[in-house]
Structure formats: C-alpha cells, structure tokens
Amino acid sequence: MIIFLKLIFGHALADYPLQQEFLAVGKAQGWPGIHRIYCLFWHSLIHAGFVLYITNNLYFAGFELIIHMIIDELKVRKITNYEVDQLLHIICKILYVVKI
C-alpha cells in the first residue's frame, strides 16, 4: 500500500507542479521549432523517472514511459477525457504494485 501511495504522489507531482506550461501546452500543440511529441516524451519521462525511483524497476519505468505517452496522446486527440486519462494512469500504478 505504501508503494501505491508513493506512486500516486509521484504521479500528482509529475502531472501538476512539475508539468509547467511549456510541457502542458507543448504536448498538445507544440511550440515554434519544437514538435509536440518532444514535449509529450519529456513529460512522460518525468513520470517514468518517478516510477523508477519508487519501484527500482527499469521495466516498469520503460512501460510507464510508453504507456504514459499513449494515454496522454489519446487525451490530446480527444479519444478520452481527463477522468479516463487519470483512471488509466492509476490502473498502471495498481499493476506495478500487483507485480512487485
């Protein structure tokens, strides 16, 4: 349970205070000279870093990097909404805890 709470806390940090306007806006529309995929990648890498730090599992971190990019891309394309986006991220954290 403690690891799950740490993962949720890390997610909250990475999604809110650590995701400044540059990444939040950039991952959806990009910036002049910077394709939006780069912003999406760096945002997802921050999340993967938290997962690696908390679980000490490189496979979980790699999965987090890829799945976070996919989940956020679905939201950017309006295939999902904020609630579904956050639920999918939480499900990933549950899967890490179950596999530990």
Q: What is the DSSP string of 11-54?
A: HHHHHTTTS-HHHHHHHHH-BTTB-HHHHHHHHHHHHHHHHHHH
For residue 9, the enclosing domain spans: 2-99
Mean pLDDT (whole number) for 48-65: 98
Q: Is the per-residue pLDDT at 91 higher than 90?
A: yes
Tokens describing residue 57: 């599992």
Q: Return mean pLDDT, the chain.
A: 95
Q: What's the domain count of the chain?
A: 1
Query: Phi and psi of 34, rounded to 5°?
Result: -130, 115
Q: Is the per-residue pLDDT at 100 higher than 90?
A: no
**40 Cβ neighbours under 8 A, 6+ residues apart:** 26, 27, 69, 72, 73, 76
Mean pLDDT (whole number) for 47-63: 98
Mean pLDDT (whole number) for 65-82: 97
Mean pLDDT (whole number) for 29-50: 95
